Amino acid sequence: MADPAADPSSPASPGLPRVRAGGRVGQVDATLVPRFAGPATFATLPRIDEVSDVDVAVVGVPFDAGVSYRPGARFGPSHVRESSRLLRPHNPAVDVDPFAGQQVVDAGDLAVNPFDIEEAIAAIEAGARHLLERSERLVTIGGDHTIALPLLRAMHAKHGPVAVVHFDAHLDTWDTYFGAAYTHGTPFRRASEEGLLDRSGCLHVGTRGPLYSRQDLVDDADLGFQIVPSVEIDDLGARGVVERIQARVGERPVYVSVDIDVLDPAFAPGTGTPEAGGMTSRELLAVLRAFGGLNLVGADVVEVSPAYDHAQVTGIAASHVTYELLSALAPRSAT
Ligand SMILES: N=C(N)NCCCC(=O)O
Ligand SMILES: [Zn+2]
Ligand SMILES: [Zn+2]
């Protein structure tokens, strides 16, 4: 099938020159079109309807009805996209061109009900399953952490139980809030109860801050999680954290969930439930750069709340996290 993005006269591609490498349609060429012009897709990549074959779809889920404190993560997808305009085609840290060895596209946003959490969860699962029919891999930009549950349901439908590497200040294995079972503090408890997780392969990285009680940790371990708490990261360093992750997940299919509040509020102020004492963005990016060696099946980056952001600090961190995840998904040989 002819590639509509290859035809500058196509209405789907009104003459924008794009980087083309490895047979893939890449970013709008920022040497020819100012990067502050052009489409507001992630990294100015083509939309899903502009290409015929897709390997990885970046999709937004603008949903924040599950939050327990500051709202606003519904604006996360557009903010992260807007903060991703400066990303360039080559990632020297891992020597990968993430948009050349695989066709990466922006699949837009899933339009889900902002008033009915259970209906939204069902729609997110259906939307993810639908996209997975076209795209082997999904990288989702949230949205609050509630969305990880339907995304894990879709992953499970395709891959069976997955190992979860969960970067977060919070456990998110709590039970209910105000009697509500589906919130941003509960997705991994629900996922574990539903059998979506490989309980022998999950871990949290970067957790910190006060809990409700000591029992939270007992429950969390029973649900299948090991923990690399934030306080251990100074001693372990990025390399030690990676070793802990590799030892836990092995060859299993791995889903990576990055709550941007894993970063210290100094590096990610724009989030709903900030906790002092978190990772630096340099540490998080360094850990993610080892993920090319894992069997990654999908990922999300959640909890960016732009109203609390300043100078796109959080948006830029989230866009670089997404870029490293896309680099980790890229086939190494094609670079
Ligand atoms: N998933 C995030 N970001 N936060 C969960 C916090 C749950 C609580 O209010 O205890
Ligand atoms: Zn969190
Ligand atoms: Zn979370």
Q: How far is the CA of 262 from the centre of ligand 2 (A)?
A: 6
Which residue's alpha carbon is nearest to atom 10 within ligand 1? Answer: 185
| % the chain with pLDDT above 70 | 95
Topology of the domain covering 16-334: Arginase; Chain A (3.40.800)
Probe target for ligand 1 pocket from 68, 178, 213, with the most ligand atoms within 8 Å of CB: 68
Comparing 10 with 284, which gets the higher pLDDT?
Answer: 284
Measured between alpha carbons, how far is 32 from 184 in angstroms, rounded to an integer?
Answer: 42
Annotated binding site: 145, 168, 170, 172, 259, 261
Query: 3 falls in which pLDDT band (50, 70, 90)?
Result: very low
pLDDT at 127 over 50: yes
pLDDT band with cut points at 50, 70 and 90 for residue 10:
very low
Taking only the tens place, the pLDDT of each residue in 14-35 is 579 999 999 999 999 999 999 9
The mean pLDDT value for 158-163 works out to: 98
The Cα angle at residue 129 between residues 125 and 131, in degrees rounded to 5: 120
Judged against a pLDDT cut of 50, whether residue 55 lies above it is answered with: yes
- What is residue 4's predicted lDDT score, i.e. its pLDDT? 46
- Answer whether 313's CB lies under 8 Å from 83's CB: no
Residue-wise pLDDT for 283-325, tens only, equals 999 999 999 999 999 999 999 999 999 999 999 999 999 999 9
Q: What is the mean pLDDT of residues 105-113?
A: 98
Tokens 């002092």 locate to: 276
Residue 148 to residues 82, 130, 191, 242, 265, Cα–Cα distance (Å): 23, 16, 9, 22, 22
Residues having CB within 6 Å of any atom of ligand 1: 68-69, 145, 170, 172, 184-185, 259, 261, 272-273, 303
Average pLDDT in the 62-80 region?
Answer: 98
- Predicted ipTM beyond 0.90: yes
Give the whole-number percent of the chain exceeding pLDDT 90. 94
Nearest one of 39, 44, 258 to 142, comparing CA atoms: 258
Ligand 1 atom showing the smallest separation from residue 303 Cα = 3
Q: Which residues are annotated as a binding site for Mn(2+)?
A: 145, 168, 170, 172, 259, 261
Of the bound ligands, which one is closest to the alpha carbon of residue 206?
2
Residue nearest atom 6 of ligand 1, based on CA coordinates: 185
Mean pLDDT of 166-188: 98
Of 164, 171, 172, 213, the residue with max ligand 1 atoms within 8 A of its CB, to mutate for a pocket test, comes to 172
Question: At 66, phi and psi to the nearest 5?
Answer: -100, 10
Ligand nearest to the CA of residue 300, numbered in listed order: 3
Compute the distance between CA of residue 193 and CA of residue 200 in angstroms, rounded to an integer. Answer: 14
pLDDT value, residue 332: 78
For residue 333, what pLDDT is reported? Answer: 59
At residue 324, the pLDDT reads 99
Query: What is the structure's pLDDT at 334?
Result: 43
CA pair distance 146, 50, nearest whole angstrom: 30
Residues with CB under 5 A from ligand 2 (ion): 168-170, 259, 261
3-state class of 227 per DSSP? Answer: strand
- Cα gap 295→307, rounded to integer Å: 35
Mean pLDDT in the chain?
95
